[in-house]
Structure 1
């Protein structure tokens, strides 16, 4: 039986599953409030969908294979980046960006400041993670609560990590659902599924044009059932590439329907569509293919975050706030504000 008095006890130690932007924002602000935080990351390092992947030899660099850029509408997000990422690892990506309307005509995208990490998108999350306790290469498989109402996390290798007052889950909804279900928390999983929408897949192809592509733009969205987005990654600030590396994102519906397609076929399909839509005649000489199983929410989802007070489990992520990079910040910051309002953590020592 849950001791209702416990639900009002301030948080002292919190585990966060996932070290994408939402997890890092929550960890940073919890630490400011005096809470001890441990992040568990299944990959080799922090980043989540703000990911970059090393380019194949002989290239010396990386390409942004996840989020291509971000905007800043919330002044608190800018303040957070300036304070905890610094100003050297992100900047504005200027260029020509176009979209193709339903009649096939090309139009300029709406003017906006588009920001990217420098020299790669993951530079932002790596900067924020400095000083945080991030346990990389640890995939959490199960959560268990003891008689003292403290959580123990068990990883896929059988290792245990215990003594946490609360757990914050930031993986995509399908993985969060699986973790809750495998932990005997089916009620929470059912609640999660009622509140959120499904995430769609995305095939990503990175191609290199040794003499440049001649596309005449830095990024575009064609009216295509195959290709959703194409961008000249080499045009972003801080990149020092020979030639041009282009990132091609498959259409979400097409990617969903073809998640098991052979990578070589994906490459050929998206490259052919890129050449058709752009009018580029140059041929690439190097490739990289990546599949995102959980890339984009089908629609706007539950508002901001979820907090299951009796179990002291929270769910946060950009997919709970529109799917944009800034949504990850808003989701985590909203969760922290709620914990403050409920008296579970102290007021932040520094303003957001």
Structure 2
């Protein structure tokens, strides 16, 4: 069993593959236990689903959140981590009026709740959390190789040696994690994710700029559309100062799965038409941008929290292991960190975020 405690093992230097919210949270929690952490990120910078696209200056500039639209803070450890490393200047509440459509077609407003966003974009949070961390950007890890010192040597896709580590934590979606494990001669470990891979669903996202304010009395909605899953007025979020009114449209997961290989033009037109049908807005946007998330969310609402293969010193975490959501990404990292402490791999830790998460 991958979570059964075994003999204590000291982890002094650990590699994390991926620097989204899950990887960043794990790195900060592990640092509080005195572990040296190096993160490897395939993109230009940290963020994962806390992602935003900068918009053309000729279209008013600014940026639009194309991944997570907002997040909640219910976990005390998550709040402590954000307060310590991000601070109030990088995130704030979004007092949005959000509504949903019932099966009968009636529109209702979501219950009042504190919903948070990054300022001036969602990536502000990941940038703040990463300031004290060692992140190797634009490095795609291809495989792990055992060394004679009971460590893992990491190799990237350009066959470059990225160093040796006492343990490795992976934060990628299950299909990508499985690919790395198989390339590393760990096919048996990869089998642990066979049931998780088909649970992951795609999401097409379209950003649309309208030159004039649309005059809607809500900032976001979830319809019963067969195409459109979610729409949000990105311009209504604090700190968004681009010209015009920018809306972010997310396609339904099942629809996005069926149209994974669709053209950006066809996808954009379908989502814009669905938005028009839901809102009654006939005005056409003067600029659009499409982005496909191949592994956006899992259909599973619960999960083990983390995977830890003690004999191999390999961990796997992610929001998909903890029921989704931005906060779920933190909770997965927290779950693994607590487990490593419980089996004696880490010191207990005395940081404020560690105390708050107990």
Superposition TM-score, scaled by structure 1 size? 0.96
8 Å Cα contact 1:98-1:106 kept in structure 2: yes
Query: 1:214 Cα deviation (Å)?
Result: 2.2
The residue number in structure 1 matching 2:40 is 40
CA RMSD of aligned residues (A): 1.3
The residue number in structure 2 matching 1:118 is 119
Q: Counterpart of 2:346 in 1: which secondary structure?
A: coil
**Aligned mates of 2:222, 2:130 — CA distance in 1:** 32
The residue number in structure 2 matching 1:239 is 240
Render the CA deviation track for 1:5-53: whole Å, top value 9, x for unaligned: x952210000000000110011111112111110000000000011011
Render the CA deviation track for 1:217-255: whole Å, top value 9, x for unaligned: 100000111000000000000111211100000000000
The residue number in structure 2 matching 1:295 is 296
**Aligned mates of 2:42, 2:55 — CA distance in 1:** 21
8 Å Cα contact 1:300-1:320 kept in structure 2: no
Superposition TM-score, scaled by structure 2 size? 0.94
8 Å Cα contact 1:55-1:288 kept in structure 2: no
The residue number in structure 1 matching 2:284 is 283
Per mean C-alpha deviation after superposition, the further-off stretch among 50-59 and 271-280 is 50-59
Query: 1:174 Cα deviation (Å)?
Result: 1.0
Q: Counterpart of 2:235 in 1: which secondary structure?
A: helix
The residue number in structure 2 matching 1:198 is 199
Q: Counterpart of 2:352 in 1: which secondary structure?
A: coil
Q: Which runs of 5+ in 2 are unaligned?
A: 1-5, 354-358
The residue number in structure 1 matching 2:14 is 14
CA gap 1:134/1:51 in 2 versus in 1, 3 angstroms: same
Render the CA deviation track for 1:187-242: whole Å, top value 9, x for unaligned: 11101224676210000000001111223210000011100000000000011121
The residue number in structure 1 matching 2:3 is none
Query: 1:114 Cα deviation (Å)?
Result: 0.7
Aligned positions, number = 347
The residue number in structure 1 matching 2:181 is 180
Q: Report 1:1-352 matches (<5 A).
A: 8-58=8-58, 59-194=60-195, 198-352=199-353
8 Å Cα contact 1:231-1:247 kept in structure 2: yes
Q: Which runs of 5+ in 1 are unaligned?
A: 1-5
**Aligned mates of 2:195, 2:299 — CA distance in 1:** 14
**Aligned mates of 1:89, 1:151 — CA distance in 2:** 36
Render the CA deviation track for 1:46-84: whole Å, top value 9, x for unaligned: 000110111134132111000000011112211111011
**Aligned mates of 1:137, 1:293 — CA distance in 2:** 19
Q: Counterpart of 1:8 in 2: which secondary structure?
A: coil
CA gap 1:77/1:308 in 2 versus in 1, 3 angstroms: same
**Aligned mates of 2:215, 2:161 — CA distance in 1:** 54
Q: Counterpart of 1:332 in 2: which secondary structure?
A: helix
**Aligned mates of 2:87, 2:349 — CA distance in 1:** 19
**Aligned mates of 1:269, 1:213 — CA distance in 2:** 19
**Aligned mates of 1:77, 1:282 — CA distance in 2:** 41
Per mean C-alpha deviation after superposition, the further-off stretch among 142-151 and 187-196 is 187-196
Query: 1:183 Cα deviation (Å)?
Result: 1.1
8 Å Cα contact 2:61-2:243 kept in structure 1: no
8 Å Cα contact 2:175-2:197 kept in structure 1: no
Q: Counterpart of 1:135 in 2: which secondary structure?
A: strand
